[in-house]
Structure 1
């Protein structure tokens, strides 16, 4: 009798150990750290009010101007001007730079060279060409904006149109200040984009 009691306990313990072992082997589902986004027709002060349209790369959404003194936003657009939430433009620690490369070839964010906005010195400029004859704004294909957000995450951004619905052959009479861009955000704090 004692022998069968110990055998039953041994089987029960083995079964419990087997169940807990199976439970331990199941991976926890995790959110992806790299996200790829496309933003179209972001109104960059289309009314000419002088206000920036603030955008959170982390949340992939426009942030109300009432939150301009917060770290909820990463980057802001007004016509051709781009600001970051850091330095003289905001209370955050967002910094950035423009690199000369094609968007698809940028697999890793640079280790250094990031700057915050400063009086008279905005690091995110020269991403476009303005044709004085046709009055067209054309994003430069070999210019990529790379940003380190206030949370310490990296993003690469490619502005691909300044005109409504990103026409292939824009005309200066078309609605403008409607920025369209692609971006990749690595929310793990590492510099890789793949």
Structure 2
């Protein structure tokens, strides 16, 4: 009888003790998966008025790249995270989807949406007021939030019509089985020489961010329709109502130079996403004349942060 009762008593005691801890904890709530909900902390002003470059954000790699204090419970490694906070320059666990803690959801083939609690989609039901619009211009040319601009809710920043037969404006082009930006690289895709055919394969089915660097590197590049390639940048309203300008840079791990981009095991298609942005407070509305802090570069896979010596021009 004792052998039966003692485990039961221990189990009940553990349940009661756990309930007491739950009720008495100061803002710390634990769910059945041992996820620790962290209290919201005040936003640090250091994020504003500086250019931030994020390298190697990996939307499909789970949550192992989330920086968390050593005394925190580990997050669920099987829970993928595609959410990113521009204001905290960090990825956000999917458990916070219905909250104001993230600003952009970044997915495959350049799909990007903002955090809006009022629109059906990711984040619906929160108090987030995010939105975005893709502009037909260079990132560096965006000096302010244009008067009367209409942001889409939750918005779309995916594939651009320059790489498809649609009319949708986006931040990225996909080359399908060829490469209309670098046609010289795929001329040997049907070559009987396996070396030449393999090299051509590495330059087909490419995903290019329509960045300033791409246009500078290939000024004569054509889109899929044969017209001149156009740059793209985004204006984003964050979940809390501030503004950011955002430019996608690369979908290849550790590669920002468009001339070096190609498919391969070391930089698999959409395995890593790199982008840059600047956040300003809602009341400022200007990007071009308020850069007061040195640029910051964050490598998500290495956990490194580098602050430049001086302000960028």
What TM-score, normalized to structure 1?
0.75
Q: How does 1:101-120 map to 2 (within 5 A)?
A: 101-111=137-147, 112-117=149-154
User: Which residue of 84, 88, 98 maps to 2:114?
Assistant: 84
Structure with more contact order per residue of length (Cα contacts < 8 Å, sep ≥ 6) = 1
Q: How far did 1:156 drift?
A: 0.4
- Alpha-carbon contact 1:159-1:181 (below 8 Å) kept: yes
Q: Name the SS for the 2:153 alignment partner.
A: coil
Distance 1:145 1:71 in 2: 20
Q: How far did 1:93 drift?
A: 1.0
Q: How far did 1:189 drift?
A: 3.1
Q: How far did 1:188 drift?
A: 4.8
Partner of residue 85, structure 2 = 56
Distance 2:255 2:141 in 1: 22
Q: Name the SS for the 2:251 alignment partner.
A: strand
Paired residues, number: 160
Query: For each residue in 1:18-61, what CA deviation from the matched residue of structure 2 results, as whole angstroms up to 9, or x when unmatched?
Result: xxxxxxxxxxxx956412201000002257x9955111111111
Partner of residue 175, structure 2 = 131
Q: Which runs of 5+ in 1 are unaligned?
A: 1-29
Q: How far did 1:68 drift?
A: 0.7
Q: Which runs of 5+ in 2 are unaligned?
A: 1-43, 63-77, 159-169, 179-203, 212-230, 289-313
Q: 1:139 to 1:50 in 2, by over 3 A?
A: farther
Q: Name the SS for the 1:104 alignment partner.
A: helix
User: Which residue of 203, 206, 210 maps to 1:140?
Assistant: 210
- Alpha-carbon contact 1:45-1:77 (below 8 Å) kept: no
Whether 1:98 and 2:134 are equivalent positions in the alignment is yes
Superposition RMSD in Å: 2.2
Whether 1:183 and 2:277 are equivalent positions in the alignment is yes
- Alpha-carbon contact 1:84-1:94 (below 8 Å) kept: yes
> Larger C-alpha radius of gyration, 1 or 2?
1
Q: How far did 1:101 drift?
A: 0.6
Partner of residue 45, structure 1 = 60
Distance 1:76 1:39 in 2: 14
Structure 1 or 2: larger strand share? 1
Partner of residue 302, structure 2 = none
Distance 1:77 1:50 in 2: 15
Distance 2:256 2:279 in 1: 26
Partner of residue 18, structure 2 = none
- Alpha-carbon contact 1:154-1:189 (below 8 Å) kept: no
Q: Name the SS for the 1:146 alignment partner.
A: strand
Distance 2:56 2:49 in 1: 23
